[in-house]
Amino acid sequence: MLINFDVTKKITSVVTESIPKIASYSYGFVKGFINLILAFVSAFYILLDREKLVKGIKKLNYSLFDKNFANYLTLWTNDAKTVFEQYIVGNIIDSFIVGVICYFGALVLKLPYTSMIALIIGVTNVIPVFGPFLGAIPVIIILCLIDPFSALIFTIFIFILQQFDGNIIKPIVLGDKLGMSGFWILFSVTIGGALFGVVGMFLGVPIFALIYAGVHDYIQVRLRNKKITINDRAGTID
């Protein structure tokens, strides 16, 4: 009877301690779910009234600021739209395609933990430059512990897949809309990763692209106002 009493007491204690945590998690889940629904509904109405909203924002822009600055904001907003559509959404689509190809490729090659491999490769592929290495290296290490031959097969497969992605899939899905050289992409990924980790590596490129586009648009507006055209020849301008 004493043992049963102690067990009952421990169970009661655990349940009592768990109730606030369960309530907190439940509240967080419900709150997140409601916010998700509101986000989808808001996005739907924004898309429904997109033309009116764009026209209203444009009127507000040109009514608050002078023409030159309003033109600059308009150019920068268009660049932000391009970066979001072409980079963030496109990069997610590209990573999804790579993950699916990796899944079926791993199935054909009869590699262990097929779903896990495809998930790791697909998720890490959203990170520019370093993403393929961040995903491939831990998978290779895991496969080496299980079956070194499978690790070798995966290494060859992922090398071919990344070449296919970089030369065919990415140019089709993403295009070349950022207007940045490879150096600036590497620079933004490195700085973003150093400051904010993995999230910074992913968001570093679009954020830097917006800054880069903002500076570029400002220069173009200033040159246009001064009626100056820059040519490729060295030397001063008449």
The reported pLDDT for the residue numbered 206 is 79
Of 156, 177, 198, which marks where a domain is finished?
177
Of 177, 206, 222, which marks where a domain is finished?
177
Of 144, 177, 210, which marks where a domain is finished?
177
Residue 133 inside a domain? The answer is: yes
Give the number of domains in the chain: 3
Domain of 92 in residue numbering reads as 82-177
Per-residue pLDDT, averaged over 166-178, amounts to 68
184 and 172 inside one domain = no
The reported pLDDT for the residue numbered 19 is 63
**pTM for the whole thing?**
0.59
Residue 57 inside a domain? The answer is: no
118 and 146 inside one domain = yes
Nearest to 215 by CA among 101, 72, 102: 72
169 and 202 inside one domain = no
224 and 173 inside one domain = no
Q: Is 123 helix (H, G, I), strand (E, B) or coil?
A: helix
Residue 68 inside a domain? The answer is: no
Residue 65 inside a domain? The answer is: no
- Local structure of residue 235 (DSSP, 8 states): S
28 and 97 inside one domain = no
What does each C-alpha distance from 50 to 43, 87, 217 come to in angstroms?
A: 10, 21, 24
87 and 172 inside one domain = yes
Say if CB 210 and CB 80 are below 8 A apart.
yes
CA distance 137 to 156: 13
The reported pLDDT for the residue numbered 10 is 64
Which amino acid, one-letter code, is at 147? Answer: D
Whether the predicted pLDDT of 174 surpasses 80: no
Residue 58 inside a domain? The answer is: no
Q: Is 238 helix (H, G, I), strand (E, B) or coil?
A: coil
Residues with Cβ within 8 Å of 93's Cβ and at least 6 positions away in sequence, in order, are 173
**Angle CA(123)–CA(125)–CA(126) in degrees, nearest 5?**
80
Residue 106 inside a domain? The answer is: yes
pLDDT confidence bin for 156, thresholds 50/70/90? very high
CA distance 51 to 84: 19
Q: What is the mean pLDDT of the chain?
A: 76
